[in-house]
Structure formats: structure tokens, C-alpha cells
């Protein structure tokens, strides 16, 4: 699969406080995938994203965009890229529509603004000043802002943070639609639900170092407990047993329970991504985020 970004030995130190935010990280992002960068606050997610969208330039290491050095691309790079920031980025005394019209005019090609506003449920509020929007509305407008130029690559920073479940679902559905239309998404987040539901591959980042890159499924298999928990009825009581997943089909006790008892629940010992993250990095993702 074609690589959109190839990052090799990337390091970045903030000049002002001399904090090394990224330490020799390497990864690639393939065309058409949703690539998640997962980590707690201060782990280096936003720094990575800011470098990839060319806001931070004095990095060490190599970054290639479509096989060419990233720094060789001028402002035209942004014709391909949509960026959804973590915080609202709008003029508060302009309406939602006025904000989007202003930003859209900066691009050669752009999507239908009303269509995007309708998809995120803001069409009826398009003529209200953004200063009067709720935080959730501003975040949805952030997503519209990112999609204005009909981008090929979407960078999203905590895209569903602060959204209620219904609106978070809408944004996630739009991300899926974007991916199915051939778009590539780089998603920085600390929300495990977003990662599980959206990402094809994820990078666990902590302390400026990538600790693990894989698919959510592979991680669960690798770090999960290979067990099966069964709850069943026996003599009017609920009993439970745990079995090793290895050669489960030859485990006579397990087979007898299945055959002779009413099964109430049966679960494989899947470990959550939260648990895997702690296992891999030694950090709790929700501590600082």
C-alpha cells in the first residue's frame, strides 16, 4: 500500500524550555488508513501532528510526504490537507457560515459548505454568531473547517472530545465515510473508544517515544489473556469457571459444561486497549489527559 507519510528517527526539542518532546520516533502512514496516535497529555501526539502539518519545522530526522521530503513542499501542501484542531478555531463575532466561507476562499477547491454543515447538524445554526455556539457546536464546526477543502488527508486532534454521544457518533460516521472515499486520517487522541471504533493501526506514544505500533486486533491478541470465562446454571445456582484458550476444543470439562448446563455468559479474556496501553507504556492514559 502506498505510503502517505514516512517518518524516520524524528526528534523534536522545544527551544524555549529545552524539553525534548519527541525522541527518535519512526512510523509510516499508509494511504486510505485511519492511523491513530494514542497517548496521554504531553506524550508528544500534538507535537507529532504539528510537525506533519508543517507548523513546527526545525525537527531532526526525515519525513517524507508521498516519497518527497516534507520540507520541499510549499503552501500548496495545504490544498491536500484538512486539520481539525483540539480547540475551536473560529472568529467568534462571525457566524458559522461566514467563518467557513472565509476559510473556504483560501483554497482552490472546496466542498459544499451547507452540505457539510447539514451533515454535522449545524445547518440551522449557520447564521448564528460562533460566540453563541456551545462547545460541542464549535467542535463540530472545527470538523467542517477541516473538511472545507475536500482534503485527501485529514489530521484530527481529539476530534470527539467534548461531544455528546450522538454528535460523537455523527463525527465518527463522517470519518468512516471519508476513509471509505479513499481519504487518509491521522487521529491524535486519548479516547480509547475512538481508537477501537475508527483506527486501522495505532501508535502508542508516551514520553516522546513510540512504544508500540500495530492494529487494535493484533494488540488485543498479543496482550490479551488467552482464557475463556463461562457462567452457567448448576442446581439452581450460578457457577463460573475459567478455561485456558489453548486447545479449548479438547477440554472435556469445558465441553461438558457447554453440553449439560444452561450457559448464562461466555467471554474470551480480551484485554481492553486501556489495559494494553498501561502494560506497554507503564502509564495510565487518563491520568493527565
Partner 1 sequence: MKTLNVLIKGEFQRLLKYNIIQVGFGVSVLWLLVMFLIGRDEAREFVPLFIFMDASLMTVILIGAGLFYERQENTLKSMMTSPVGMHKIIISKLISAVYIALQSAIFIGLISIFFFNASLNFILLIGFILVIAITHAMIGYTFSVLVKDFPTLLALTMVYMIVFAFPSIFYALGIVGGALETLLIVSPSHASMLMIDFAFGAEISTGLIIGSVMYLGVVAFVLGRFLVFPLYVEKAIKE
Residue pair 185/178 in contact (Cβ under 8 Å)? The answer is: yes
Beta-bridge mates of residue 184: 153
- Report the residue from 11, 23, 24, 56 that binds partner 1 according to the rule CB under 8 A: 56
- Cell numbers at 207, concatenated: 514520553
169 is an interface residue for partner 1 by CB under 8 A: no
Taking alpha carbons only, the member of 257, 196, 267 closest to residue 34 is: 196
Residues of span 96-125 touching partner 1 by CB under 8 A: 98, 102-103, 105-108
Which residue stretch of 93-101, 112-120, 220-228, 276-284 sits at the interface with partner 1 (rule: CB under 8 A)? Answer: 93-101
Residue pair 146/154 in contact (Cβ under 8 Å)? The answer is: yes
Taking alpha carbons only, the member of 118, 195, 182, 188 closest to residue 150 is: 182
Q: How many residues bind partner 1 (CB under 8 A)?
A: 30
Q: Report in angstroms how near the CB of residue 133 gets to partner 1 at its nearest.
A: 12
Nearer to partner 1, 88 or 224 (CB): 88
Letters for 31-50 (x = contact with partner 1 by CB under 8 A, - = none) are -------------------x
Residues of span 242-281 touching partner 1 by CB under 8 A: none
Nearer to partner 1, 50 or 220 (CB): 50
The CA–CA distances, whole Å, from 150 to 53, 104, 114, 135, 143 equal: 16, 10, 13, 24, 12
Phi then psi for residue 127, to 5 deg, are: -100, 10
What residues line the site for partner 1 (CB under 8 A)?
Answer: 16, 50, 53, 55-56, 75-79, 81, 83, 85, 87-94, 98, 102-103, 105-108, 145, 149
Amino acid at each position: 500500500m502506498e505510503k502517505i507519510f514516512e517518518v524516520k528517527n524524528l526528534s523534536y526539542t522545544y527551544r524555549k524550555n529545552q524539553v525534548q518532546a519527541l525522541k527518535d520516533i519512526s512510523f509510516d502512514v499508509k494511504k486510505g488508513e485511519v492511523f491513530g496516535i494514542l497517548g496521554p497529555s504531553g506524550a508528544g501526539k500534538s507535537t507529532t501532528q504539528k510537525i506533519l502539518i508543517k507548523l513546527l519545522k526545525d525537527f531532526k530526522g526525515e519525513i517524507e510526504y508521498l516519497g518527497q521530503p516534507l520540507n520541499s513542499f510549499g503552501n500548496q501542501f495545504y490544498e491536500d490537507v484538512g486539520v481539525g484542531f483540539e480547540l475551536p478555531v473560529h472568529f467568534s463575532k462571525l457566524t458559522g457560515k461566514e467563518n467557513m466561507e472565509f476559510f473556504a476562499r483560501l483554497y482552490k477547491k472546496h466542498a459544499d459548505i451547507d452540505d457539510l454543515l447539514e451533515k454535522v447538524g449545524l445547518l440551522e445554526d449557520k447564521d448564528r454568531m460562533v460566540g453563541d455556539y456551545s462547545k460541542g457546536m464549535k467542535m463540530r464546526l472545527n470538523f467542517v473547517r477541516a473538511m472545507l477543502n475536500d482534503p485527501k488527508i485529514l489530521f484530527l486532534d481529539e476530534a470527539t472530545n467534548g461531544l455528546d454521544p450522538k454528535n460523537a457518533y455523527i463525527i465518527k460516521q463522517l470519518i468512516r465515510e471519508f476513509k471509505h472515499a479513499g481519504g487518509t486520517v491521522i487521529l491524535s487522541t486519548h479516547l480509547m473508544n475512538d481508537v477501537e471504533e475508527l483506527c486501522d493501526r495505532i501508535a502508542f506514544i508516551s514520553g516522546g517515544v513510540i512504544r508500540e505500533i500495530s492494529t487494535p486486533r493484533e494488540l488485543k491478541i498479543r496482550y490479551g489473556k488467552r482464557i475463556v470465562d463461562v457462567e452457567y446454571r448448576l442446581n439452581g445456582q450460578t457457577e463460573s469457571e475459567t478455561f485456558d484458550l489453548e486447545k479449548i476444543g479438547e477440554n472435556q470439562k469445558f465441553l461438558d459444561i457447554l453440553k449439560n448446563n444452561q450457559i448464562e455468559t461466555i467471554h474470551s479474556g480480551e484485554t481492553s486497549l486501556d489495559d494494553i496501553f498501561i502494560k506497554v507504556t507503564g502509564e495510565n492514559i487518563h491520568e493527565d489527559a
